[in-house]
Copies of this chain bind each other. A is one copy, B any other.
């Protein structure tokens, strides 16, 4: 939270909620004129605090409404092997997130697929063909809730 004053924080909160808001509107909400708001945003972007601006899409329409987490064990834990596996897996359409983990398994991947058939194809045609994977366990998501805004 270093070097973020109250105005920066409010600005970040607003941009997390809707980043297509105009600078003019932001200025009103922050009780400032355009220029400081504009310059604060540019500074936050340059400092890497704002990493990007993305549109959120409805998974349903894109045939991605089924969410599955797969915990898996790996046969090799070298830095290079983990990195290679991560790259291999993140290239796959179905895989949205990769985590290298502590605990009973070594990694966790989050899948978003159309249906059970697409899941099955993923496991049989893709995951099973990656040699480093020794065993895995799938957790199917019944319902979920995801925050897109950090409390600042």
Q: Is A121 an interface residue (CB 8 A)?
A: no
B101 to A142, Cβ gap below 8 A? yes
A residues 52-93 in Cβ contact with B at 8 Å: 52-59, 61-64, 67, 69, 82, 86, 90, 93
B53 touches A98 (CB 8 A): no
Q: Is A99 an interface residue (CB 8 A)?
A: yes
A50 at the interface (CB under 8 A from B): yes
How many copies altogether?
2
By a CB distance below 8 angstroms, the chain B residues around A105 are 139
The reply to whether B151 and A99 form a contact with Cβ atoms under 8 Å apart is no
Is A37 interfacial (CB-CB < 8 Å)? no
Q: Which residues of A contact B (CB under 8 A)?
A: 1-2, 4, 12, 15-20, 47-59, 61-64, 67, 69, 82, 86, 90, 93, 95-105, 108, 112, 137-152
In contact, A101 and B140 (Cβ under 8 angstroms): yes
Residues of B contacting A144 in the complex (Cβ-Cβ under 8 angstroms)? 97-100
* Contact status of A56 and B63, CB under 8 A, knowing A90-B147, A97-B145, A145-B90: no
What is the minimal beta-carbon distance from A42 to any residue of chain B, in angstroms? 12
- Complex contacts, A101 vs chain B, CB 8 Å: 69, 139-142
Q: How far is the CA of A96 from the CA of B105 in the complex (A)?
A: 22
